[in-house]
Chain A
Amino acid sequence: MKSNMNRINQRMLALKQANKKALVTYIVSGDPSPDITLDAMHALVSNGADIIELGIPFSDPMAEGPVIQLGHERALVHNVSLTSTMAIVKQFRETDTDTPVVLMGYANPIERMGYSKFATIASDSGVDGVLTVDLPPEEAVALNVELKKVEIENIFLLAPTTTVQRIREVVSLASGFVYYVSLKGVTGAGNLDLKSVKDKLTLIRQHTDLPICVGFGIKDGASAKSVAEYADGAVVGSVFVDKMGALQNEHRDVVLSAVGQLTAEIRSGLDN
């Protein structure tokens, strides 16, 4: 029922036809300061990112490991919000009309804004998908209604612990792509188990034709490549946020160049 106009579907289809895998890169909006995010998004794209996941800073990011927690804290020092994050996406769209942008965050800032207002502004800003970590399908019904109205994809998570019956239920509500959480743990964890990823993706594919991107624990081109052997795309986050933190006192050109270089390395690993 989705129109094929959505950038996520277009991009995933184009990659499939080119026999390539999606590189999904995550940074936190406003980390380490709000004035760098727009240029960082462009640097990600020009060095090979296919989809940008933009983290909405939250005071209590329960699913994040220490690296991304600190990214949220750095952004919150500057009072970066859902509103200002969507304003950045709108600016991004002035020069990039192709690259899909997915907002990733937690339910409370969206609750506070109100689902309808959020969907309207997100659509107006050129947001393509929303992934709300603590809003599993059973609690997402009301938000889904609003997102559908404006043709924004609601990206749901599947996990190593998700049962078969539940996989069926979740994929029936999902659109855009399915985000498979590769491990039991928080973002940036070090216990990626390829065999279990392979087995679970095989199982998930029996129940959906949606593309599957895998995230959590992917640190470089090599791990992205190994995961992408079974998946349609790899999500890489903590290493970018770590870089942002390490270079927070450097000149913006240094940060942008480092972000670009890291992206190019992972892209190259993924494609080889």
Chain B
Amino acid sequence: MNDLTNVADIDFSSFPDKAGHFGIYGGRFVSETLISALDDLDLMYQRLKNDPVFQAEFDKDMAHYVGRPSPLYHAERWSEKIGGAQIYLKREDLNHTGAHKVNNTIGQALLAKYSGKTRIIAETGAGQHGVASATVAARLGLKCEVFMGEEDVRRQALNVYRMKLLGATVHSVTSGTRTLKDAMNEAMRDWVTNVDDTFYIIGTVAGPHPYPELVRDFQSIIGREARQQCLNQAGRLPDALVACVGGGSNAIGLFHPFLNDESVEMYGVEAGGDGVETGRHAAPLNDGIPGVLHGSRTYLMEDENGQIIDTHSVSAGLDYPGVGPEHSWLKDIGRVEYVAINDQEALAAFRELTQIEGIMPALETSHALAYAEKMARDMPKDKIIIVNLSGRGDKDILTMAELDGITV
């Protein structure tokens, strides 16, 4: 971290500013047609976020529908095997629908309900956000349409079917690279066309203001719980936090409530694909530059002409050329360190945790686990690392089987 004295003085809760900026990042880079819808959403959210009735409704759903608080689990056997720091897992995989995504979709669905919109759209990569959106839509009786890149439809077939069972329509997107970024383009195009009756549930801390702020706020329940649980169980704050970063919603959810705890180091783990040095990866904070995509200024993977380039990752949920703007800012001010884990390391961590702890993590999450394992090795046994176990790995079984040459 390059300027700790400064960082300690920052009131992180005061970001973004009114226009949605985190330093030079964030903002609202969309065509004119969407501005009034974003203004309306911002106005409504600023009113509701401090409204006790809205908060009580959110908290009730978190407790009784999602099943929160999620446990903070001391992975003793794995920690013992690694032989270094103690690793605690924040069990977001135990949430209803199997990942952290539902925290945000419950929050945004409540906003949709308050706004009177009757139709929900969402983009999805791995399908977890699509499933979480289809789930809340089913529960509220709203129509739901999910945009998913053709390539992701293929590799996340189980989640596609789950969404259909939940009553959602899944649109296979065939433009561009046929992955998450193209699904988001298509969702934006749908929204601009149906802006009167449609609520767009963005699945990560990206997009135009106020999305990065409100998604962060809904996901921050992860960090608030983890902070209290760690104090209760270990009697002190953790030494480090580790979370995977695609768009970055599970990471910001864990990190944000700790940002003013100076002693807590934070590591965001991007998808290194074939290795950052090969250029075939999805790690804009490691190997990208600031630019404008999907409504905000943030680090991007792009070529010398400003065209967004193909990303590569074994995990569909991290296969995205951008990242939430707050992460770009946290990188620049030195509060969070962003690192990368490649496909092979993530796959090894997937197998490791499954066999040592009996917990099958999502491939996205496996990136965070692999980095935590590396870190823990070189740390004393009395240190504590919290890893956000952001999702469960059931959805990845077909991918693993394919890699093992097995037809399920």
Chain A interface (Cβ < 8 Å from any Cβ of B): 57-66, 69, 73, 76, 79, 81-83, 106-113, 133-136, 138-139, 156-163, 166, 170, 181, 184-186, 189
Residues of A within 8 A of B192 (CB): 63, 184-186
CA distance A110 to B300 in the complex (A): 14
A112 and B37 contacting across the interface, CB-CB below 8 Å: no
Residues of B within 8 A of A136 (CB): 28-32, 35
| A235 CB, nearest partner CB in chain B, Å | 14
Task: Provide 22 A-B residue pairs closer than 8 Å at the C-beta atoms, listed in order of the A residue.
Answer: A60-B308, A62-B31, A62-B189, A65-B189, A76-B307, A81-B307, A106-B292, A109-B305, A111-B292, A111-B306, A112-B306, A134-B29, A138-B19, A138-B27, A157-B33, A159-B31, A161-B195, A163-B36, A166-B36, A184-B33, A184-B192, A184-B194
A108 and B306 contacting across the interface, CB-CB below 8 Å: yes
Query: Total A-B residue pairs with C-beta atoms closer than 8 Å?
Result: 122
CA distance A63 to B190 in the complex (A): 10
B35 and A166 contacting across the interface, CB-CB below 8 Å: yes
A158 and B293 contacting across the interface, CB-CB below 8 Å: no
B35 and A111 contacting across the interface, CB-CB below 8 Å: no
A159 and B305 contacting across the interface, CB-CB below 8 Å: no
- B33 interface neighbour in A59, A109, A160, Cβ under 8 Å: A160
Residues of A within 8 A of B28 (CB): 136, 138-139
| A155 CB, nearest partner CB in chain B, Å | 11
A82 and B306 contacting across the interface, CB-CB below 8 Å: yes
Residues 1-41 of B, flagged 1 when their CB comes within 8 A of A and 0 if not, give 00000000000000000010000000111111111110000
CA distance A58 to B293 in the complex (A): 11
Residues 75-109 of B, flagged 1 when their CB comes within 8 A of A and 0 if not, give 00000000000000000000000000000000000
Residues of B within 8 A of A170 (CB): 32
Instruction: Across the interface, name the chain B residue whose C-beta is closest to A186.
Output: B189
CA distance A101 to B272 in the complex (A): 43
CA distance A184 to B33 in the complex (A): 7
CA distance A57 to B196 in the complex (A): 30
Chain B interface (Cβ < 8 Å from any Cβ of A): 19, 27-37, 175-176, 181-182, 185, 188-189, 192-196, 290-295, 297, 300, 302, 304-309
A82 and B293 contacting across the interface, CB-CB below 8 Å: no
Instruction: Across the interface, name the chain B residue whose C-beta is closest to A170.
Output: B32
B32 and A181 contacting across the interface, CB-CB below 8 Å: yes
Residues of B within 8 A of A157 (CB): 31-33
CA distance A151 to B402 in the complex (A): 59
B308 and A161 contacting across the interface, CB-CB below 8 Å: no
Instruction: Across the interface, name the chain B residue whose C-beta is closest to A83.
Output: B305
Residues of B within 8 A of A158 (CB): 32
CA distance A161 to B312 in the complex (A): 38
Give 15 A-B pairs besides A62-B294, A82-B306, A113-B306 with Cβ atoms closer than 8 angstroms. A57-B307, A60-B181, A62-B31, A63-B189, A65-B189, A112-B291, A112-B304, A112-B306, A134-B31, A138-B19, A159-B31, A161-B34, A170-B32, A181-B32, A186-B193
B295 and A108 contacting across the interface, CB-CB below 8 Å: no
B32 and A109 contacting across the interface, CB-CB below 8 Å: no
- B308 interface neighbour in A59, A83, A113, A159, Cβ under 8 Å: A59
A134 and B36 contacting across the interface, CB-CB below 8 Å: no
Between B19, B28, B192, the greatest number of chain A beta carbons within 10 A of the residue's beta carbon is seen for B192
CA distance A188 to B342 in the complex (A): 42
| A110 CB, nearest partner CB in chain B, Å | 7
Residues of A within 8 A of B297 (CB): 111
A133 and B31 contacting across the interface, CB-CB below 8 Å: yes
B307 and A162 contacting across the interface, CB-CB below 8 Å: no
CA distance A34 to B221 in the complex (A): 52
Instruction: Across the interface, name the chain A residue whose C-beta is closest to B182.
Output: A60
